[in-house]
Structure 1
Amino acid sequence: MRRTLTALGVGLSLLGSTAISTPAQAEGEITVAPLAATASTAQEVARFWLADGAANLKNATPYAVQTEVQGERVSTPVTPDTKPGSVAPVAGPAEPKGKTPTSTGKVFFIGGDGQPHWCSGTALQSQYRNLVATAGHCVYDLQRSDTTLDKWVFVPGYTAGTTPWGLYVGKQSFAHYDFSTYKDYDRDFAFVNVYNGVVSPSPDTLTNTGRLVDNVGGQGFAWNQPTDSMADVFGYPAGPNPDGRRPYTGESLEWSTGPISTMTLSGLPDDLFIGVESPFTGEGSLGSSWLSKYSSDSRAGYLNGITISVADTDGDQRYDTGVSPYFDGAVNVIYRAAATSWTGSIV
């Protein structure tokens, strides 16, 4: 199914990517794009971010591409395309103590401006325990056509340049064909397979830290869920509100809880968008995870949405809503393809 949500950005196609046929419920095809296709390339990426005391991680700024939309929360129900379903989460480690998920962190990359940037991301349970979910435009470059974002990595639990669970280089990304080809933002999500984590105990040395979900746990995944529910949102917001106030720094993981509803976005067809009541600002929070049935004891829940932008729905010059594609059966098909892809170690 081709959708034309042209008001939100420029078109893009994925150079060197491949299209995989999927069942009808996928509403098209899966696009698989290479990030760091070989272990030697992944080593170069890891060294870029970890060199000089992780200077490039510390100097990265929040991604400021497509951070705001205009719209309102409405009560129109979503008609599921398949039966609802879910994949169970894997609880995170007992330490360090806390109530926020150890699976959440920042994804880092080089933007179209040639500078290091970051979005939010989260680890998901998968067969090979190597999967990260984030916004599609935190993987595919909207400022330059025919390319993915360069030097893509995930750092769970990131704080002030530290990599407490290691740094995980992205190998490949799975996304919806309609996003990569027709710029359909109701398909603005991506699942990235990452290699085993690494740390750098000394210059030019990389040490294997193991598989992502083995280290930090992995959130479950749910699709075709009712929209009259609640979600816990986790991410690293950093940008200003429209009134100029900056309630967040992006230096620490933030948590908000609110009801989910369907969304109508101005100038766009009424398609598969949902919103969650949340005060997160746009920059930095792109890719924030929406978790249903979240337990602060296990620090685990079910990924049921991902922030692709934010909105000020009441006109008070402060953001109050996060926007996500609705996770339907087509999203599940792409998740399952990504969840069965092996990566391995780069050292």
Structure 2
Amino acid sequence: MKRILLPAGGAILATGLLAAGLAGTAQAQSDVASDPLAKTAAQAAETLDFWSKSNYAALKKAVAFNPDALEVKKIKSGGGYSSDTKPGAAAPIGEEKKVTVKTQNVNLPKTIGKVFFEWKDGNLYYCSGTSIQSQYRNLVATAGHCVYDIAGNDEVVSRWVFVPGYYQGKAPYGLYIGKQAFTHYDFDVYEDFDRDYAFVTVYNGIGGTLNKPKQVTKAEFDAYKGEKGVKETEVSFDEYKKGRLDPKTSDYYSAVRGTRSQKVGPDYPGAVVEKVPATKSEYYRAGVGPGNGNKFGEPVVTQVTKHEWDSYRGKGEKSKDARGNYLITEYFVQAWIKPGTEHKFIRTDFFITVHEVKDVGRLGDNVGGQGVAWNQPTGKYVRTFGYPAGPHPDGNKPYTGVTPKWCYGKTQSKVLQIPARKVEEHQSFRCAVTAGYDGGPWLYKYSNAKRLGYVTGVTSLIVDTDGNSRYDTITSPLFDGETSAIYKAAAASWSGKLIP
């Protein structure tokens, strides 16, 4: 895999975003690892088609990412956190707006959404993520393990896409296909979860009508190579005749000729028995049981009028009883047949599936973007967001992943150490969520009125600290000076449009 080591110092100057936190970043140039996701328009088009076809069926199929490799059994508390450089921050998109509101409700940020991808096992998964500030308003923050394969082969996941505001297969702000992923070299190469974060540039969003059926002629249908289908409707003979004579119609009319009934045996599949009139002598000479020519029930005696009696010309026997009533006695034998069919007239409508898509613009212009801050003190209140859906270790599944959830609390003053994931310093706080929440933002100084704050971490691990088989704590890497260098490199990277 080819890594691109970007000059972090130059990236800082290019952004024009930050007023603080420049010290101590130049030496971190080699910490920036960057890998392409969909580096060509053809790859991006394939990713769009994969997720959008059949009415976003793949998005609905994806489940919360919770590989066995992320199970954590042993954690311990470390010392306090000390920053490597001065604190710094990039203001959120829209921070300049002054908004006041008095409410106790939590207004969910427009910036959050789901990150969808295909993992190495061929299954479809999702994590959480958020739009953040960047020079080109095209940047998503999420967990590193939601972008990079953590199975030890130094590769990114496949078909990575961000859907802000995702809800039950809907993409209200469009689909944003990942172009370039940025993370720390230690995570990319060594899977060091102290650096379990990633910043992903995305192309302009794609919206419009996807998977729209369009009616075409039979010739157009036959020539089309994509998704297509037909609809057959039985019609009257008059419509069939008119349609066959109308050269302007796009419908195709055909006739299905009926078939005559055939005489078969009683053992023939689908055969039915009919009664056939017989004379008295034929009836009494006939055998019994199933079979052509055998008796069909008992003779049928019917009382009729004199006129009906006089005009009767059937095979039955005419007679009168002692009271002078006019009687006709009819005799029947069996005839086993395969029924015929009637003529049918069919109209066939031909449809192809088309995408009437359009460029809906840059991610940050559509949903805004959270700020980013690093080297912030622990022991501060943060609000986190994400889409939990996985089960607790005991099998309980309290969340559906349909709508985002949030937690609010103060981060622990002491860092967590998790040897199984090479974690020496993770910030943490109490939050009883499950898989799917990982990758979601930790927002410091969150404004409920503006729905904006500063990302100081992303959910990395979801752990059970008291051993009761229920998750109770979430952790995040600490955003420090090295994180800022990686973020600034990503924030200065252009992605552009997929649709001219």
What is aligned with 1:56? 58
AA in 2 matched with 1:32:
S
What is aligned with 2:384? 233
What is aligned with 2:42? 40
Larger Cα Rg: Structure 1 or Structure 2? 2
Please say if residues 67 and 286 of structure 1, whose CA atoms lie closer than 8 Å, have aligned partners that are also in contact. Answer: no
The verdict on how the C-alpha distance between 1:182 and 1:80 changes in structure 2, with shifts beyond 3 A counting, is same
SS in 1 for 2:400: coil
AA in 1 matched with 2:455:
L
SS in 1 for 2:424: coil
Using the size of structure 2 for normalisation, the TM-score is 0.63
What is aligned with 2:453? 301
The alignment status of 1:77 with 2:80, answered yes or no, reads yes
Deviations 1:50-108 (A, max 9, x none): 111111111111111244324557472211000001111124999xx970011000011
Matched positions, count: 330
Q: Which runs of 5+ in 2 are unaligned?
A: 9-24, 100-104, 213-353
AA in 1 matched with 2:454:
Y
Cα offset for 1:188?
1.0
Cα offset for 1:247?
1.3
Cα offset for 1:296?
1.4
Cα offset for 1:199?
1.7
Aligned equivalents of 1:112 and 1:221: distance in 2? 31
RMSD: 2.1
The verdict on how the C-alpha distance between 1:183 and 1:266 changes in structure 2, with shifts beyond 3 A counting, is closer
What is aligned with 2:123? 115
The verdict on how the C-alpha distance between 1:196 and 1:161 changes in structure 2, with shifts beyond 3 A counting, is same
Aligned equivalents of 2:167 and 2:50: distance in 1? 18
Cα offset for 1:25?
4.9
Cα offset for 1:37?
0.6
The alignment status of 1:277 with 2:430, answered yes or no, reads yes
What is aligned with 1:344? 496
Deviations 1:154-204 (A, max 9, x none): 000001000000000000001111111122110111000000000241333
What is aligned with 1:138? 146
Please say if residues 131 and 369 of structure 2, whose CA atoms lie closer than 8 Å, have aligned partners that are also in contact. Answer: yes
* Seq. identity, %: 46
What is aligned with 1:106? 114
Please say if residues 236 and 285 of structure 1, whose CA atoms lie closer than 8 Å, have aligned partners that are also in contact. Answer: yes
Using the size of structure 1 for normalisation, the TM-score is 0.89
Please say if residues 16 and 34 of structure 1, whose CA atoms lie closer than 8 Å, have aligned partners that are also in contact. Answer: no
Aligned equivalents of 1:73 and 1:215: distance in 2? 42
Cα offset for 1:266?
4.8
Aligned equivalents of 1:207 and 1:21: distance in 2? 35
SS in 1 for 2:79: coil
The verdict on how the C-alpha distance between 1:195 and 1:107 changes in structure 2, with shifts beyond 3 A counting, is same
Aligned equivalents of 2:422 and 2:113: distance in 1? 32
What is aligned with 1:320? 472
Cα offset for 1:346?
0.1
> Which deviates the most, 196-205 or 209-218?
196-205
Aligned equivalents of 2:2 and 2:159: distance in 1? 16
Aligned equivalents of 2:167 and 2:78: distance in 1? 38
AA in 1 matched with 2:126:
W
SS in 1 for 2:429: strand
Aligned equivalents of 2:186 and 2:7: distance in 1? 13
Cα offset for 1:318?
1.3
What is aligned with 1:182? 190
Please say if residues 25 and 82 of structure 1, whose CA atoms lie closer than 8 Å, have aligned partners that are also in contact. Answer: no
SS in 1 for 2:80: coil
Cα offset for 1:280?
1.0
Question: Which residue of the other structure, out of 288, 297, 303, is the alignment partner of 2:440?
Answer: 288
SS in 1 for 2:487: helix
Cα offset for 1:27?
7.8
> Which deviates the most, 144-153 or 129-138?
144-153
AA in 1 matched with 2:475:
V
What is aligned with 2:397? 246
What is aligned with 1:263? 416
The alignment status of 1:207 with 2:358, answered yes or no, reads yes
The alignment status of 1:151 with 2:159, answered yes or no, reads yes
